Amino acid sequence: MAAAPLFEIQDLHVSADGHPILRGLDLTLADGEIHALMGPNGSGKSTLANALLGNPAYEITGGKILFRGEDITTWPTDVRAKAGIFLAFQYPEEIAGVPVVQFLRQALSARKGMDLSVLELRLSIMEWMERLGMDRSFGDRYLNEGFSGGEKKRNEVLQMAILEPEVAILDETDSGLDIDALRTVAEGVQKVRAARSGLGVLLITHYQRILEYLNPDRVHVMIAGRVVESGGPELAARLEREGYESWR
């Protein structure tokens, strides 16, 4: 009997404030794959990210979300995170008074179900900061407070490295980044993937440019709450040439 896919979305319907947004979305992600989900504004990409996170403001009215074959559709956010599902936010929150190291220690302790020493975690964080080209003082700064857009996104990549999820959902990680910051963040994602070959990544984006660095296995076009076409990287290149009008 074949093993269940790492992550599977089946005929997902989601509403917000009583308005249907996702209208039967299907997507399957295998171990080690990176998939890009592309769509115009209003297509439902951020709604999908929130639904996968378990945000209670988004009501799942039909379909299922499966993680290694287990139905997690009704699981609360913290349980999903502990199981190994990670979401990098489009607009990461600032948390005043909480240093990056302290935040990561609490998050990793919850993820692993054990208390970790500050020294053990700090050594791991310092190692990853060096691999990601981040200044060592970064860990003592308050979470996202005063961070530039690029620093916030690199901090999300650092969290992904330390927390060791099985599935990472990157919600418009490229949003608001200049070319240099985009390249740095994309290279960071690749370094995390190289260290964890089984990590599955769902990258939600408007633009093809980040895909030049991340080389997705599959590209999905999302229009009006559904995936209307899937293909290889050539589909992203077609989107860049033609825009979304062909699918509207």
Amino acid at 109: S
Does residue 150 sit within a domain? yes
User: Mean pLDDT per segment of 10 residues, for the chain of length 248 residues?
Assistant: 87 96 97 95 92 93 97 94 87 73 82 74 86 82 76 86 93 83 90 94 89 93 95 91 85
Q: Would you tell me the crossing angle of helices 179-195 and 149-163 to the nearest 10 degrees?
A: 0
Q: In angstroms, rounded to a whole number, what is the distance separating the alpha carbons of residues 60 and 197?
A: 31
Does residue 164 sit within a domain? yes
Give the strand order in the sheet containing 58-67: 19-29, 7-16, 58-67, 70-71
pLDDT at res. 94: 63
Does residue 170 sit within a domain? yes
Does residue 65 sit within a domain? yes
pLDDT at res. 92: 63
Q: Would you tell me the crossing angle of helices 100-112 and 149-163 to the nearest 10 degrees?
A: 30
pLDDT at res. 106: 82
Does residue 190 sit within a domain? yes
| Contact in structure between 104 and 123 (CB atoms under 8 Å) | no
Name which of 46, 64, 79, 81 is nearest 160 in CA terms.
81
Eight-class DSSP state of 45: H
Does residue 43 sit within a domain? no
Contacts of 131 (CB under 8 A, 6+ apart): 161, 191
pLDDT tens digits along 179-217: 888 888 899 999 999 999 999 999 998 878 889 899 999
Q: Which structure tokens are listed for 56?
A: 């209670």
* DSSP reduced 3-state for 218: strand
Q: In angstroms, rounded to a whole number, what is the distance separating the alpha carbons of residues 210 and 205?
A: 8
| Contact in structure between 184 and 176 (CB atoms under 8 Å) | no
Q: Tell me the CATH number at 89.
A: 3.40.50.300
Cα dihedral 163→169→175→180 (10° resolution)? 50
Q: In angstroms, rounded to a whole number, what is the distance separating the alpha carbons of residues 186 and 93?
A: 21
Does residue 136 sit within a domain? yes
Task: Determine the structural domain holding residue 81 and report its residue range.
Answer: 7-37+57-198+216-227
Domain count, the chain: 1
pLDDT at res. 1: 61
Does residue 244 sit within a domain? no
